[in-house]
Amino acid sequence: MADLKLQRNFGIAAHIDAGKTTTTERILRYTGMIHKIGEVHDGAATTDWMEQEKERGITITSAAVSCQWQFPTTLGKKDASTKDYYFNIIDTPGHVDFTVEVERSMRVLDGLIALFSAVDGVEPQSETVWRQANRYKVPRIGFVNKMDRAGADFLMVVTQVREMLGAKAVPLQLPIGAEDNFTGVVDLIRMKAIIWDDATEGMTYIENPIPDDMKEDVDYWRAQLIEAVAEYDDKLMEKFFENPDSISEDEVHEAIRKATIDLSIVPMMCGSSFKNKGVQTALDAVCRYLPSPVDVDDTEGTDPDTGEKVYRKPNAKEPFAALAFKIMTDPFVGRLAFFRCYSGHLDAGSYVRNVRSGKNERISRIMKMFANKQNPIDFIEAGDIAAAVGFKEIKTGDTLCDENHLIVLENMFIPEPVISVAVEPKTQADVDKMGMAIAKLVEEDPTLRVRTDEDTGQTILSGMGELHLEIIVDRMRREFKVEINQGNPQVAYKESFGVTIEHREVLKKQSGGRGKFADIQFSIGPADEEWMAANPDKKAFQFVNDLFGGSIPKEFVPAITKGFETSMTTGVLAGYPVNNMKVRVYDGSYHDVDSDAMSFELCAKAGFRTAGRKAKPTLLEPIMKVEVVTPDQYMGDVTGDLNRRRGMLEGMDSRGNLQVIKAKVPLSEMFGYVTQLRSLSSGRATSTMEFSHYSPAPNNIAEEVMAKNKGKVKDEE
């Protein structure tokens, strides 16, 4: 059994371009997993292996890598006390469109390195990542990267973390020099200057005395650090008041570790990943301060049979329990399910129970992942992350457990999609391919939703943003070789009648032999409100039979009903379905020979067309319920933009230092809104949208829609 105290599962998360992938690349080099450092801008980074990632220089999918790190060392070299620590690292995307990748990684990680750019400080996506980490109570270390860039300011970023993220950021280092002159850091715990050796790509370092010009600053921040640590531990507090210098290094480390795991403080460090400075000390800090699987609380779950809470300890002797957090399709191995094992031991080739489906799954092989490469292993134990092969149906968020000890683990939060696009296959051969491609992509990506539009028969893909859908369509073309046309999504309008009118429709056709004859007198208009309240599930078609005295025989009434009902699917204005219609048939006549069911059905259809135009038809458009969360300073711009989109503001309230704006906005005005909102608020505002109701469209909009559809509806005179 491996010593779980030497295991660390952590992720690297931050805003776009803060240097997550570059930092991961350096970690792999220092731990001996790769022998040449690949750069993101060259498209050569290990964890960015997808074609789309290489092209765009962005991370799209989170990549898992495993490696070993030697700690503690003397000046970066091994000594007698050095042990091998085992790391599982997940490099996550920074783009808000791929936020689910960060979300699912957070769910299974024990700690996090939150990266910040020394120039840009706390950016919008840093806030999102921080909120996600808070949701899953993930302890984190702050690492301020890009100290070699013009405008780098470490203490500014520390202040921002305190103010904007509300975290107690405590610097453990101070930079020596900045921008081009950034040479190393002063360690505030050891009170030594650390200068990294360029010859060993920064693997080793030398310790120097603190530069004279920095002594004052160093003493101030050292006092701040000791005070923050002492606040957390009463024994240290006593020592602090007697003599702050009497607190030993080990005591400081221990107190920082406890306070970090408890989410009370966030230790801050700095460096430049690109220049190979500071990543090593950050890894030492991971070993020192971030929790091992043993240090986190026991995993909580529920018993599927009784609904009671059940707990699992991170121990190989406990019953097996794991959470599948990501599905990936590999061209060589087939489907891979990434999972985090919380307790127990699983051998390759054994069976586990999938609690969602209630079926047993055979895990034929277990792999240790290294970006998109796999190394097979014989078994997995508590606290580890691996990928399984050979299962039938495992989805993101499924709990896998011992079939005799069932448990359901907390699933992850999956945000709702915000934007849709219509796709259709180009040729007949692409139809099946498209179906398979979409099935695989939906399996991999829980934020991608698929539905078929009943009105148009198109396949509608819904996702997190325009970039997300662009990548999905691109993957369908490249990976699955599907040729597709994509269009703009269509708004589904409806029609309704404004007034009730009476009308007589007579159908007479005589062309030798048996003719057709039907005569109906009816009223047509909007459905009664009482009836609608009583029949919410009906197709909103209210039919009243007021015939008397046998003016129309009973057997023809179903045909009349059917005639009106089928006409409702294409309205008289622009061919959209009619909503909430009432028809009352009260009189008519028939012919003994020429009248039949077909005649009355056709008569009803013609009557609907003629009478419908007189019943003041109106076009209804879908109205969405929109909620925008924005910082104060963008409030005016956001509300102004919503007003421009014909939005009705309904209320505002505040959440912390953010404003929440609620409004009802027509769907037709909301295309491209996400992108527009980002540019209005520098990406800091977020919005959610859901369907509210249908309401009459203004005349100018209705005329536009009717003009577009003119060719679709033939006027039947």
pLDDT in tens, 184-236: 999 999 999 999 888 888 888 899 999 999 999 999 999 999 888 888 888 88
In the chain, the amino acid numbered 620 is L
Residues paired with 535 in a beta bridge: none
Contact 85, 69 (CB under 8 A): yes
In Å, what is the CA distance from 68 to each residue of 83, 85, 277, 283, 561?
10, 5, 19, 11, 75
Q: How many other β-carbons are positioned within 10 Å of the β-carbon of residue 462?
A: 18
Per-residue pLDDT, averaged over 436-463, amounts to: 83
- Give tens-digit pLDDT for 503-524: 999 998 887 778 889 999 999 9
Contact 136, 107 (CB under 8 A): yes
- Give tens-digit pLDDT for 248-258: 889 899 999 99
* pLDDT greater at residue 150 or residue 38: 150
Is the pLDDT confidence value at 716 over 60?
A: no
Contact 499, 525 (CB under 8 A): yes
Contact 335, 391 (CB under 8 A): yes
Return the DSSP state at 80: T
Q: What is the CA radius of gyration of the chain?
A: 33
Confidence of residue 418 (pLDDT cuts 50, 70, 90): low
Confidence of residue 717 (pLDDT cuts 50, 70, 90): very low
In the chain, the amino acid numbered 522 is F
Contact 285, 269 (CB under 8 A): yes
- Give tens-digit pLDDT for 89-106: 988 887 767 878 888 888
Checking phi first, is residue 162 left (phi over 0); if not, alpha (psi -120 to 50) or beta?
A: alpha
Contact 581, 527 (CB under 8 A): yes
Per-residue pLDDT, averaged over 112-123, amounts to: 87
- Measured CA angle at 57 (ends 54, 60), to 5 deg: 80
Is the pLDDT confidence value at 415 over 50?
A: yes
72 upstream amide cis, omega within 30 of 0? yes
Is the pLDDT confidence value at 297 over 50?
A: yes
Per-residue pLDDT, averaged over 625-643, amounts to: 89
What residues contact 274, with CB distance under 8 A and at least 6 apart? 19, 22, 146, 148
In Å, what is the CA distance from 277 to each residue of 64, 144, 184, 199?
23, 11, 7, 12
pLDDT for 43 = 72
- The span from the CA of 407 to the CA of 304, in Å, is 6
* pLDDT greater at residue 35 or residue 87: 87
Is the pLDDT confidence value at 176 over 90?
A: yes
Contact 394, 361 (CB under 8 A): yes
- Give tens-digit pLDDT for 329-373: 877 888 889 999 999 999 999 999 999 899 999 999 999 888 778
Q: Which of 557, 574, 555, 573 is nearest to 565 (CA)?
A: 557
Is the pLDDT confidence value at 539 over 80?
A: no
Of 42-46, 300-304, 437-441, the one with minimum mean pLDDT is 42-46
In Å, what is the CA distance from 254 to each residue of 30, 233, 244, 303, 397?
26, 10, 16, 36, 35
Is the pLDDT confidence value at 78 over 80?
A: yes
pLDDT for 199 = 83
Contact 115, 145 (CB under 8 A): yes
Q: Which two tokens stand for residue 517?
A: 């004859």
pLDDT > 90 fraction of the chain, expressed in percent and rounded: 41
Confidence of residue 712 (pLDDT cuts 50, 70, 90): very low
Q: Which two tokens stand for residue 499?
A: 């007034």
Contact 171, 221 (CB under 8 A): yes
What is the overall mean pLDDT for the chain? 87
Per-residue pLDDT, averaged over 581-591, amounts to: 90
